Amino acid sequence: MSEYQLQEIPVGPYRHLVSERAVSGETMLLNMGPQHPSTHGVLRLLLELDGEVVVNCIPDIGFLHTGVEKNMEAKTYQKAEVMTDRLDYMNNMGNNLAYVMAVEKLVDLDVPPRAQALRVILTELQRIASHLVWLGTSGLDLAAMSMFLYCFREREIILDIFELVSGQRMMVTYFRPGGVWRDVPVEFEAAVRNFIKIFPKRIDEYEALLTKNPLWLDRMVGIGKLDAATALQHGVTGPMLRASGVNWDLRKTRPYAGYEQYDFNVPVETKGDTYARYIVRVQELRESLKIVEQALNKLPLGPVHSDNRKFVPPPRSEIGTSMEALIHHFKLWTEGFPAPKASVYSAIESPRGELGVYLEGDGGPKPYRVHWRTPSFDNLSVISKIVKGHLVADLIAILASTDIVLGDIDR
């Protein structure tokens, strides 16, 4: 972005958002982004600076607005799912899960237990992958550059598992209404076990590098404090809210996909600063691993999708022999399935917070309205409040600790 501000930034449009001193030219208006190494994508922050102290911070989003909600209205329920992968591109499995859960709720579709367990395993692996990217990029933002490469090394193992089950590294579209795409291959269990075996040691390594490092503490402790009341007022959810002392995790409070069967803790910190957010997420890495292990141990046998043929395509083997199966297959992939004229809201706990889908049907095979309640959107909106009075360098740390994904914000 560097020279994006060759011209002076006019105060005019932001008159009501900046202080008096900006009008007189006493403070400096500085554009950070849309292309800046630490805005985690195409976020633009208009900063009012007094020296290097942030007086006001005005986020400007929408540089990645993709029209997903509108585009999903033009596709059938099944085909719209490919769009969901590309929303929050760190949490593809989670997006799929949120969407298929909304569809299942709307059309009242059952999901067999094996599919549920697979969903849990894969979304928790996805949470680990997402937190790894967060940890790596936060490290990079504070110039602990090796952290980034170590985290991506571990993330590759998870992506390999995803590729094993779905054929894609990132845009998996693996969960389908009524179950999952197809059963996992035989190598799956060994691959996940291998990951479970090596990963705890790797977390210890990360913590050895950062958690007690005085420079790391110095950059994080007491920075960007967010109290629980403000957090709730701004709709902040997920690890950010839990770092402020509110024990709210949808996996515990409103269990879905069989989370109630697993024994895990919800890490909660009370200080609400950047360091608390770091601690919460690092502990979540361990908790997620615990869930994965339990789910893998209990992984039931059986079908991986519902046998309700109105919504789930029949297996390939049936098509050759059964006329009815052929018709179902043809109808489902050309026309899609109809959903009632009603609306549902279904939410999951994504790595960033409450990921909700508002889905409204109109009796036809296409969604009438899809709205994504994305956690990053609200988590970012609080930033202008918590960076006030901090330095530019702290802004970087705070922004990293909110763990925003621009695809999640701009949709």
Partner 1 sequence: MELWIEWIIKAFVLAFAILTGFAYLTLYERRALARIQVRIGPNRAGPQGLLQPIADAVKLIFKEEFTPARADKFLFVLAPIMTVVPAMIIAAVIPLGTQFTLPFVDHPITLYVADINVGVLYLTAIASIAVYGIVLAGWSSNNKYAMLGGMRASAQMISYEISLGLCFVIAIMLGNSMSLLDIVGAQKNMWFVVIQPVGALIFMVTTLAEVNRAPFDMPEAEQELTAGYHSEYSGMKFALFFMAEYEKMIVISMIAVTLYFGGFREFWFLQGTVFSVDHFWWLGPIYLLLKVVVLLFFMIWIRATWPRIRYDRLMAFGWKVLLPLSLALVFLTAVGIVLVQQLGSVYIWFIPISSLIAGLIAVLLVNLSLRRKVARA
Partner 2 sequence: MGVEQKLGNLGIVTTTLETTVNWARTNAMWPMLFGLACCAIEMMSAQAADYDMSRFGMELMRPSPRQSDLMIVAGRVSRKMAPVLRRLYDQMPEPKWVIAMGDCASCGGVFNNYAVVQGVDEVVPVDVYVAGCPPRPEALIHGVVTLFEKVKGEKFKDLVKA
Partner 3 sequence: MDNRLEKIVKVLQEKAGAAYEEFRGEVHVFIAPGQIVDALTFLRDEHQFSLLSAMTAVDYWPKQDPRFHVIYQLTSLTQNLSLQLRVPVSGGLLKLPTATQVFQSANWREREIFDMFGIEFEGHPDPRRILMPDDWEGHPLRKDYPLGYEEPQFTFNFEEIDLRKPYAKE
79 binds partner 3 per the rule CB under 8 A? no
Element (H, E) at 59: strand 53-60
Which of 182, 225, 369, 388 contacts partner 1 by CB under 8 A? Answer: 225
DSSP sequence for 221-260: TTSS---HHHHHHTT--THHHHHTT----HHHHS--TTGG
- Residue from 22, 27, 32, 36 that binds partner 2 (CB under 8 A)? 36
Kindly list the distances between the CA atom of residue 252 and the CA atoms of 145, 256, 258, 353, in Å, as whole numbers in the listed order: 35, 9, 10, 13
Of the candidates 11, 21, 30, 69, which one interacts with partner 3 according to CB under 8 A? Answer: 69
Residue 68: phi, psi to the nearest 5?
-60, -45
The answer to whether residue 169 forms part of the interface with partner 2 (CB under 8 A) is: yes
**Least distance CB 121 / partner 1 (angstroms):** 27
In the complex, the smallest distance separating the C-beta of residue 367 from partner 3, rounded to whole angstroms, is 11
Is 295 in contact with 121 (CB distance < 8 Å)?
A: yes
| Alpha-carbon torsion angle 210, 213, 218, 224, nearest 10 | 20
Q: Which of 114, 127, 131, 155 binds partner 2 (CB under 8 A)?
A: 155
DSSP 391: B
Contact status: 396 vs partner 2 (CB under 8 A): no
Least Å from the CB of residue 238 to partner 3? 12
Q: Could you tell me which residues come within 8 angstroms of residue 129 by beta carbon, excluding any fewer than 6 positions away?
A: 90, 155, 158, 159
CB-CB contact of 262 with 291 (8 Å): yes
For residues 237 to 256, the per-residue mask of contacts with partner 3, x marking binding by CB under 8 A and - elsewhere, is x--------x-x----xx--
Q: Sketch the per residue contact string, 113 through 152, with partner 1: x for CB under 8 A, - otherwise.
A: --------------------------xxxxxxxx--xx--
Show the binding pattern over residues 41-60: x = contacts partner 1 (CB under 8 A), - = does not. -----------x--------
Distance from C-alpha of 243 to C-alpha of 220, rounded to nearest angstrom:
13
Q: How far is the CB of 347 from partner 2 (least distance, A)?
A: 23
Percent helix, percent strand, percent coil in the chain, to nearest 5: 50, 10, 40
**Cβ-based nearer residue to partner 3, 255 or 314:** 255
Residues in 6-45 that interact with partner 3 by CB under 8 A: 13, 16-17
Amino acid making up residue 299: L
CA 14 → CA 350, 370, 384, 395, distances in Å?
A: 33, 32, 14, 20
Nearer to partner 3 among residue 313 and residue 367 (C-beta):
367
Binding residues for partner 1 (CB under 8 A): 1-3, 5-6, 28, 30, 36-38, 52, 139-146, 149-150, 153, 209-210, 213-219, 221-222, 225, 271, 273, 275, 391-394, 396
Binding residues for partner 2 (CB under 8 A): 1-4, 34-37, 41-42, 62-68, 70-71, 82-83, 86, 89-90, 133, 148-149, 152-153, 155-156, 159, 169-171, 406-407, 410
